[in-house]
Amino acid sequence: MSETADNIRIGKNEREISMLDTKALLDSKIPCDETGIIVKTGICGFCGDACPVDVYCKDGKVIKVEGNTSLPGGSGRVCVKGAALKQALYHPDRLKYPMKRTGERGEGKFERISWEEALTTIAQKLSETKDKYGAKQTLFYAGHPKWFRPQLTELANEYGTPNVGTESSTCAYSLMMACQSVFGKGVMMPMPDMRRCKMLVVWGVNALYSNPVNGGGALLNALQRGIKLIVIDPRCTPTTEHADIHLRPIPGTDGALALGMARVIITEGLQNQEYIDKYTIGYEKYRDYVMEFTPEKVEEITGVPKEDMMEAARCMAANAPFPIQLSASPVVHNINGMQNARAIAMLLALTGSFGMPGGSVPPGPGRAVLKDAFMGTRKKRVNADQDISHEEFPAWAKLTEHEAQVTKIADYIEGKGDYPLRTVLSFGMNHHMWPRPDRLEEAFKHLDFFVNADLYMTDTCKYADIILPVQASLEREQVQIMGFDTIFYQGHVAEPAGESRTDMDIITGIADKLGVTIGGDEPIHSNEEYLRKSLTTTGLTLEEVKKAPDGVKVKHRMPSRTSEEILKVKTPSGKIEFFSELMESCEKEEHEGLPVYHDFRENLPMDEYPLILTTGSRKPQLFHSRTYRLPWLANLEKYPVVEIHPEDAKELCMKDEEMVVLVTPVGSMELCLSVNSSCLRGTVNVYHGAGEKDINLLLDDTYLDPVSGFPGYKSYCCRLEKKEESHE
């Protein structure tokens, strides 16, 4: 195999090749001189996992994507989404030019404009809002794409608005708040020490679907070492298949389960008292509180048989230190989610598992770092105490300094916050992600000015005044850390679509037009300057990494820390907190210092809507709003479906594939029934993110965790009606 610069690999066994005719070679997509097919190494980036991939290209077009093995972290695997990248790159919905709206908001009528006109207009409108109403009435927003967020915040700072919001208003940050309130600043999400643990607790994660290449691979490797596995998940999934103990709580009841486990551990004297005495505070108050959670009560709340819960608790204590794998979403997608996550995190403190080898440890150390790259960089905002959600979500404000909580974006645009948001500059906004996207569509109509930069003409783009085309991962020059210590440069593996630009070029372009500079002491004016700057921590130049198709090894920059160092935690007390003064000081309902359990069913009309509605449990082929347009992925399952346990279907006299009506207190929708024994009885599951059949239309946008502002996506209420009988 020969290698040249720009990550191109050519060649195969020549003798083999000469035996085939060119057509057969082409049909089989064999890379060689005869076919003109070349293989480049690239970064998939479809889901943010940054898997290295081998990209087969012919005549400048991507024709196939496979897993890569030449780069560290290259397992040779891709998931279904990676395998469908070709369809994502060349989809007819791709935006190719900047455009301005010519029709009504939502109508989808646009005309092509130049980049010059687009950037000049954006800067002009941003300045107008600032002059007329003050900079804070502009929101800077990023959807799931993350890599450019530090620079977006820098731009917001230069412009003067503290209102920087992202999809993290529904993802990860609630868990980060919980973990930081217990383990202190900087411990956003303690990670399992996968290489050393004897036992692993997976609490509401299904990495084999949600993080199939990296996370799923790590789990399978750990299982091969022979670890014990406890999984806490209402459904049966490929992950629960591997479990020694599988607990199936009713969604949203995790807090009660964790408190019940704590009670078992304490009453049986299995806690790590030495660790508790040395590193924690508030234990006595916590101990007294958990005594309320008797096995009988916990069984009643969670539906988990008490013997199973007790066995799991004893197993944890016996195998401590042990790690708990936590997710950015399910546990905190409940209206008591933040407190539930705190109760879970405290099991690590109770058993002496936080910060210990084989337990859960703060992420980061051991990895090479790139300057100002998203991972590890969180930029502070100017005037953060004036952001739109500061008063409403005080714990968020104290624990999440880097962005505003914007789940109530529709209210804020409609002027129901302290002040209205009049202008939105967004990168990858998808309004189908929030409860009641229909309300947001109405709200968009009130905006003075709205920009959205995306890969595709999405439903959200249709409401924007200006839309900007961005480059996909394979199209843009980027520098990434592969594995722990290899710096890899990716060039334009695929030709950028039309006039599309990188998000970074757009951010710096707007900065230039506004007459400001981002990047502080080392200003940047383009994606290329950003790449050069990011390499400064490694001592390498862009030219050097460009010449190395398999990347360049560099030194780990972040030293690993000892347990003693990790356990010098940055909470207000300097100790791991079973009771949080910070939470208590918020002086607001449900901001209790203890991880108090409030049951979501207390305030829901469960008599009328007896089924629990869980939305968005991940499926391998679906990724929020992004994959419905790709035929290879959309065709894998009839859509949209509502999944239900066979016994529940039987009771309702409903059959598989029957069209049924799902009714919630907000509205109703026809869906196709999928009878599926992996569901928990009494709970139905619908995936989210689709255009017309968007289950978020049926979620109440006031049904939020009062502490984190996260929607109760995983535990709302509904009923199912036969189509002909439905009166909704």
Ligand X SMILES: Nc1nc2c(c(=O)[nH]1)N[C@H]1C(S)=C(S)[C@@H](COP(=O)(O)OP(=O)(O)OC[C@H]3O[C@@H](n4cnc5c(=O)[nH]c(N)nc54)[C@H](O)[C@@H]3O)O[C@H]1N2
* Closest CB 687 distance from ligand SF4, rounded Å: 16
44 binds ligand SF4 (CB under 6 A): yes
DSSP string, 277-317: HHHEE-HHHHHHHHTT--HHHHHHHH---HHHHHHHHHHHH
Pairing between β-strand 552-553 and β-strand 486-490 as defined by DSSP bridges: antiparallel
Q: Which of 141, 183, 713, 716 binds ligand X (CB under 6 A)?
A: 713
Q: Which of 40, 149, 228, 235 binds ligand X (CB under 6 A)?
A: 235
424 binds ligand SF4 (CB under 6 A): no
Question: What distance in Å separates the CA atoms of residue 578 and residue 685, rounded to the nearest whole number?
Answer: 34
Q: Which of 616, 706, 709, 712 binds ligand X (CB under 6 A)?
A: 616
Tell me if 235 sits within 8 A of 680, measured CB to CB: yes
Q: Pick out residues in 284-343 that bind ligand X (CB under 6 A).
A: 327-331, 333-334
* Closest CB 620 distance from ligand X, rounded Å: 5
Question: What distance in Å separates the CA atoms of residue 428 and residue 448, rounded to the nearest whole number?
Answer: 19
Tell me if 91 sits within 8 A of 630, measured CB to CB: yes
* Closest CB 259 distance from ligand X, rounded Å: 14
496 binds ligand X (CB under 6 A): no
Site string for ligand X, 195-214 (x = CB under 6 A): --------xxxxx-xxx---
In terms of CB distance, is 30 or 152 closer to ligand X? 152
Q: Where are the alpha helices (DSSP H) in 515-616?
A: 527-534, 542-546, 563-566, 581-584
The tokens describing 83, both together, are 């395998």
Instruction: Give the one entry of ligand SF4, ligand X, Mo ion, none that residue 139 binds, where binding means its C-beta sits below a cut-off of 5 to 8 angstroms depending on kind.
Output: none
Q: Which of 358, 394, 469, 689 binds ligand X (CB under 6 A)?
A: 689
Question: What distance in Å separates the CA atoms of residue 542 and residue 546, rounded to the nearest whole number?
Answer: 6
51 binds ligand SF4 (CB under 6 A): yes
Q: How far is CA 138 from the centre of its chain?
A: 24
Instruction: Give the one entry of Mo ion, ligand SF4, ligand X, none that residue 433 binds, where binding means its C-beta sits below a cut-off of 5 to 8 angstroms depending on kind.
Output: ligand X
DSSP string, 23-65: HHHHHTT--STTTT-EEEEEE--SSSS--EEEEEEETTEEEEE
355 binds ligand SF4 (CB under 6 A): no
Question: What distance in Å separates the CA atoms of residue 240 and residue 242, rounded to the nearest whole number?
Answer: 5
Pairing between β-strand 486-490 and β-strand 478-482 as defined by DSSP bridges: antiparallel
Q: Pick out residues in 157-196 that bind Mo ion (CB under 5 A).
A: 171
* Closest CB 585 distance from ligand X, rounded Å: 28
Instruction: Give the one entry of ligand SF4, ligand X, Mo ion, none that residue 161 binds, where binding means its C-beta sits below a cut-off of 5 to 8 angstroms depending on kind.
Output: none
Start-to-end CA distance of the chain, whole Å, equals 64
Instruction: Give the one entry of Mo ion, ligand X, ligand SF4, none that residue 82 binds, where binding means its C-beta sits below a cut-off of 5 to 8 angstroms depending on kind.
Output: ligand SF4
Size of the site for ligand X (CB under 6 A): 59
Measured at the CA of 57, the angle between CA 52 and CA 59, to 5 degrees, comes to 155
Contact window for ligand SF4 (CB under 6 A) among 47-55, 440-448, 511-519, 567-575: 47-55
* Closest CB 414 distance from ligand X, rounded Å: 20
> How long, in residues, is the chain?
728
467 binds ligand X (CB under 6 A): no
162 binds ligand SF4 (CB under 6 A): no
Question: What distance in Å separates the CA atoms of residue 425 and residue 331, rounded to the nearest whole number?
Answer: 31
Q: Pick out residues in 200-239 that bind ligand SF4 (CB under 6 A).
A: 212-213
78 binds ligand SF4 (CB under 6 A): yes
- The residues, ordered by sequence, that sit 6+ positions from 486 with a Cβ below 8 Å of its Cβ are 71, 72, 368, 550, 551, 552, 553, 554
Instruction: Give the one entry of ligand SF4, ligand X, Mo ion, none that residue 46 binds, where binding means its C-beta sits below a cut-off of 5 to 8 angstroms depending on kind.
Output: ligand SF4
Q: What per-residue string of b and e applies to 492-514 under the rule 16 or more CB within 10 Å gives b?
A: ebbebbeebbbbbbbbbbbbebb
In terms of CB distance, is 516 or 636 closer to ligand SF4? 636
Burial classification of residue 136, based on how many CB atoms lie within 10 Å of its CB (0-12 exposed, 13-18 middle, 19 or more buried): buried
In terms of CB distance, is 328 or 569 closer to Mo ion? 328
* Closest CB 329 distance from Mo ion, rounded Å: 5
Q: Pick out residues in 360-379 that bind ligand SF4 (CB under 6 A).
A: none
Contact window for ligand X (CB under 6 A) among 133-141, 177-185, 229-237, 269-277: 229-237
Question: What distance in Å separates the CA atoms of residue 580 and residue 584, rounded to the nearest whole number?
Answer: 6
Instruction: Give the one entry of Mo ion, ligand SF4, ligand X, none that residue 141 binds, where binding means its C-beta sits below a cut-off of 5 to 8 angstroms depending on kind.
Output: none
* Closest CB 679 distance from ligand X, rounded Å: 9
Instruction: Give the one entry of ligand X, ligand SF4, Mo ion, none that residue 233 binds, where binding means its C-beta sits below a cut-off of 5 to 8 angstroms depending on kind.
Output: ligand X
Q: Pick out residues in 314-353 that bind Mo ion (CB under 5 A).
A: 328
145 binds ligand SF4 (CB under 6 A): no
147 binds ligand SF4 (CB under 6 A): no
Contact window for ligand X (CB under 6 A) among 246-254, 291-299, 517-525, 717-725: 246-254
Question: What distance in Å separates the CA atoms of residue 354 and residue 183, rounded to the nearest whole number?
Answer: 8
8 binds Mo ion (CB under 5 A): no
CB atoms within 10 A of CB 130: 18
CA dihedral 394, 400, 402, 406 (to 10 degrees): -60
* Closest CB 335 distance from Mo ion, rounded Å: 17
Q: Where are the alpha helices (DSSP H) in 74-185?
A: 80-83, 85-89, 115-133, 149-159, 173-183
In terms of CB distance, is 35 or 237 closer to ligand SF4? 237
The tokens describing 119, both together, are 């950037």
Q: How far is CA 77 from the centre of its chain?
A: 21
260 binds ligand X (CB under 6 A): no
- Packed helices 503-514 and 149-159: angle between N→C axes, nearest 10 degrees: 10
- The residues, ordered by sequence, that sit 6+ positions from 124 with a Cβ below 8 Å of its Cβ are none
714 binds ligand X (CB under 6 A): yes
Instruction: Give the one entry of Mo ion, ligand SF4, ligand X, none that residue 135 binds, where binding means its C-beta sits below a cut-off of 5 to 8 angstroms depending on kind.
Output: none
Q: Which of 279, 427, 489, 530 binds ligand X (CB under 6 A)?
A: 427
DSSP-assigned beta bridge partners for residue 68:
none
Question: What distance in Å separates the CA atoms of residue 430 and residue 166, rounded to the nearest whole number?
Answer: 11
In terms of CB distance, is 31 or 212 closer to ligand X? 212
In terms of CB distance, is 374 or 609 closer to ligand SF4? 374
For residue 462, give the amino acid letter.
K
Burial classification of residue 20, based on how many CB atoms lie within 10 Å of its CB (0-12 exposed, 13-18 middle, 19 or more buried): middle
In terms of CB distance, is 144 or 422 closer to ligand X? 144
680 binds ligand SF4 (CB under 6 A): no
Size of the site for ligand SF4 (CB under 6 A): 13
170 binds ligand X (CB under 6 A): yes
79 binds ligand SF4 (CB under 6 A): yes
- Which residues contact ligand X (rule: CB under 6 A)? 47, 143-145, 167, 170-171, 203-207, 209-211, 232-235, 237, 249, 251-252, 254, 327-331, 333-334, 427-428, 430, 433, 453-456, 458, 470, 503, 614-618, 620, 622-626, 688-689, 695-696, 713-714
- Which residues contact ligand SF4 (rule: CB under 6 A)? 44-47, 49-51, 78-79, 81-82, 212-213
